[in-house]
Amino acid sequence: MQDTTQPPTQSVTSNSVKNEQQVLDNGFVKLLETFGDELTIVNAARVSFGVQKTELSKGDIGLIRYLYKYKHFSPFRHLMFRFHIKAPEVVMRQLYKHVVGIEATSDSATKDHAWNEISGRYKPVVDYYYPKVWRKQSADSKQASDGVVDEATNTEIIELFGTHMKHTIELYEDLLAKGVAREQARLVLPLNQYTEVIWTCSAQALLNFIWLRDEGTAQVEIQEYARAMREMVRERFPTLHDIWFESN
């Protein structure tokens, strides 16, 4: 029988204004700023008729629903978000897929993104992700996990992984001490190294990312980042949040 035990969710904590949320053991999501609001979406759509609104009305909410339902997504791209994200490389490379190919429902290009990342060529890597819970491979899905290993095995893996990381970090630091270039010394580093990015994206790109990654078959770690971003959207733009996610 397939083990349906789910790994415990790692808590996401936030400050009082919820502009920053801690994720995993040493990561975070910071919402640096937003450009526009739900009315921005409405006015982008109504410009076709030479109409601009100053307050969001019930009819405007209906318009946003209509735009979403019939996949008129361009007005959603006028509402922008800028994040500072710190995540393990194994998570960040999945997030980057949403920069190079963001939409599941249209053929637009990636013009509504900006992405800049910290460079291991300039700054040595110092932070790594250490999972507290190790998951089992799904028997039904090639890419997914399903439940967790037993407690004794989990303890053993944590010890083995810790030893592996100790040797890996020692090798990396030894290479740097011997004068090896940072750009080459990093070849020995694993995918649990933390990296940081500034990501500016449209509401459409962000909500599409959340929709795809705050989902049970997505990797658990990236679900945590998607949920952190979703809470930030929910708090600031509840109408947009509810329209997008109640329809999916």
DSSP string, 214-225: SSTTS-HHHHHH
pLDDT in the model for residue 111: 55
**Beta strand residue intervals within the chain, DSSP E:** 13-14, 20-23, 27-35, 80-88, 113-117, 135-137, 145-148, 194-202
**DSSP states of 107-134 as a string?**
---STTEEEEE--TTTS----B---SS-
Active site residues: 213
| Cα→Cα distances 123→26, 88, 158, Å | 18, 16, 28
Residue 13 confidence (pLDDT): 40
What's the pTM value of the predicted model, to 2 decimals? 0.86
Whose CA is closest to 223, among 76, 2, 10?
Answer: 10
For residue 3, what pLDDT is reported?
43
Q: Which two tokens stand for residue 248?
A: 């999916």
Residue 247 is predicted with a pLDDT of 62
- What is the pLDDT at residue 7? 43
Per-residue pLDDT at 142: 85
Divide the 248 residues of the chain into consecutive groups of 10 and give the mean pLDDT of each group. 41 56 97 96 92 92 94 92 97 84 48 85 96 94 90 98 98 98 97 97 92 92 97 95 83
